[in-house]
């Protein structure tokens, strides 16, 4: 008799990702040369299911499997919790296993600050240990929430494209569970008798994602039916494909809208489709030093008006002390 369907599903998802990693990082002779794959584990159902699947599949492949748990220090006893999670990972025969403590700042709000601190810690650990990949336990439900949060921001199809299956420098971060729902991961833990920890922050109404998870999505499902999460995840993939195509088009168009001196020509920019033109403008602003994370849709719209609604308006101040102005039919963007 084979494994429970939920266990089979999580193992298959991880197996596919490990095959991709092995294709990109061919193994050399000797176990110590096999690529190391880490799982980022909070102790919750999603990441514990992921850790169990990694431990099982890595033993059948030329892959070393380890684990990292991050202590954000935001709750009393979080250090003990991190130690306990590390012990569970070791019990799954993952090696190396580390519990890393971080200091969470305040930039961008509590959720963003915790996320930034967590990824910085994962990057440091992956670099230090020489990991080929880090697996993250985001599920289809997380993807649906991300799409709705992007919709609320109103910043275009890139914000609706959710999380990619592969992200990071050198394709470091992999999300095997984006096609699986949260319930499958929880069921896999249950039938394998894996202890899980439910983070109280996930049910705290002070956090936007928590409210969306426990109030917003259930209300949508009640009104529109149970297929909402799957439809949102599918929307994310379609938007991602569209956004990638437009980004490629913009990168190609950028070379055609500059004069011999490399200056952006307003007439040629005006001839581009709006979605492509705005991407060219955004890329140009970032190239001159505007921080990507602070350059919002409203900034790009102001830049666009210098092209499409020119009435002699003055210079525009952008994040990062970047200034844009129209001069003699050219758009000049530079540090102020």
Signed CA dihedral, 244, 245, 250, 255: sign only: positive
Kindly tell me if the per-residue pLDDT of 207 is higher than 90.
no
Signed CA dihedral, 207, 210, 214, 216: sign only: positive
Q: Categorise residue 266: left if φ over 0, alpha if ψ from -120 to 50, beta otherwise.
A: alpha
Spatial distance between the Cα atoms of 244 and 302, rounded to a whole number of angstroms: 23
Reported as a pLDDT band with limits 50, 70 and 90, residue 44 is: very high
Exposed, middle or buried by CB within 10 Å (0-12, 13-18, 19+), for 49?
buried
Range of lowest pLDDT (27-31, 65-69, 193-197): 27-31
Q: For residue 23, what pLDDT is reported?
A: 94
Q: For residue 32, what pLDDT is reported?
A: 58
Q: For residue 102, what pLDDT is reported?
A: 86
Spatial distance between the Cα atoms of 228 and 234, rounded to a whole number of angstroms: 10
Residues 299-308 have pLDDT tens digits of 999 999 999 9
Reported as a pLDDT band with limits 50, 70 and 90, residue 328 is: very high
Residues 115-168 have pLDDT tens digits of 889 999 999 999 999 999 999 999 999 999 999 988 887 768 888 999 999 999
Q: For residue 77, what pLDDT is reported?
A: 80
**CB 272: neighbour CB atoms within 10 A?**
20
Residue by residue, what is the 3-state secondary structure of 170-228?
A: HHCEECCCCCCCHHHHHHHHHHCCCCCCCCHHHHCCCCHHHHHHHHHHHHHHHHHCCCH
Residues 243-254 have pLDDT tens digits of 999 999 999 999
Residues 285-300 have pLDDT tens digits of 999 999 987 888 899 9
Reported as a pLDDT band with limits 50, 70 and 90, residue 76 is: confident
Exposed, middle or buried by CB within 10 Å (0-12, 13-18, 19+), for 48?
buried
The side-by-side arrangement of strands in the sheet containing 173-174 is 97-101, 64-71, 36-40, 131-135, 173-174, 166-167
| Tokens of residue 261, six digits | 């001196």
Kindly tell me if the per-residue pLDDT of 92 is higher than 70.
yes
Reported as a pLDDT band with limits 50, 70 and 90, residue 30 is: very low
Spatial distance between the Cα atoms of 240 and 258, rounded to a whole number of angstroms: 28
Kindly tell me if the per-residue pLDDT of 27 is higher than 70.
no
Q: For residue 258, what pLDDT is reported?
A: 95
DSSP secondary structure letter of residue 72: -
DSSP secondary structure letter of residue 272: S
Q: For residue 204, what pLDDT is reported?
A: 73
Spatial distance between the Cα atoms of 80 and 77, rounded to a whole number of angstroms: 5
192-219 mean pLDDT: 85
**pTM of the complete model beyond 0.85:** yes
What are the C-alpha distances in Å from 275 to residues 11, 150, 156, 281, 310?
40, 17, 9, 10, 18
Q: Categorise residue 162: left if φ over 0, alpha if ψ from -120 to 50, beta otherwise.
A: left
- Quick check: 268 and 256 in contact, CB under 8 A? yes
Q: For residue 29, what pLDDT is reported?
A: 44
Kindly tell me if the per-residue pLDDT of 74 is higher than 90.
no
Q: For residue 266, what pLDDT is reported?
A: 97
Q: For residue 290, what pLDDT is reported?
A: 94
Secondary structure (3-state) at 136: coil
């Amino acid at each position: 008799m084979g494994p429970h369907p939920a266990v089979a599903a999580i193992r298959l998802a991880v197996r596919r990702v490990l095959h991709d990693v092995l294709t990109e990082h061919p193994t050399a002779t000797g176990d110590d040369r096999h690529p190391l794959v880490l799982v980022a584990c909070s102790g919750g159902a999603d990441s514990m299911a992921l850790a169990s699947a990694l431990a099982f599949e890595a033993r059948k492949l030329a892959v070393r499997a380890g684990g990292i748990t991050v202590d954000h220090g935001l709750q009393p006893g979080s250090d003990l919790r991190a130690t306990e999670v590390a012990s569970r990972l070791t019990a799954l025969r993952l090696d190396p296993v580390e519990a890393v403590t971080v200091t969470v700042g305040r930039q961008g709000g509590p959720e963003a600050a915790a996320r930034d601190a967590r990824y910085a810690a994962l990057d440091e650990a992956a670099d230090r240990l020489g990991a080929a990949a880090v697996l993250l336990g985001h599920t289809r439900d997380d993807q649906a929430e991300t799409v709705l949060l992007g919709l609320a921001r109103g910043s275009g199809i890139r914000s609706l494209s959710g999380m990619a299956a592969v992200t990071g420098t050198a394709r470091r971060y992999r999300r095997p569970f984006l096609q699986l729902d949260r319930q499958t991961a929880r069921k896999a833990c249950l039938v394998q008798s894996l202890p899980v920890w439910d983070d109280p922050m996930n049910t705290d109404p002070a956090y936007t994602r928590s409210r969306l998870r426990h109030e917003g999505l259930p209300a949508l499902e009640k009104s529109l039916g149970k297929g909402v999460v799957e439809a949102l995840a599918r929307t994310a993939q379609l938007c991602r494909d569209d956004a990638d195509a437009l980004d490629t088009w913009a990168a190609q168009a950028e070379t055609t809208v500059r004069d011999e001196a490399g200056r952006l020509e307003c007439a040629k920019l005006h001839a581009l489709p709006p979605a492509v033109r705005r991407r060219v403008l955004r890329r140009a602003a970032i190239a001159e030093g505007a921080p990507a994370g602070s350059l919002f849709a409203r900034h790009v719209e102001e830049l666009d008006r210098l092209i499409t609604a020119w009435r002699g308006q003055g210079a525009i101040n952008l994040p990062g002390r970047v200034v844009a102005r129209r001069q003699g039919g050219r758009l000049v963007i530079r540090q102020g």
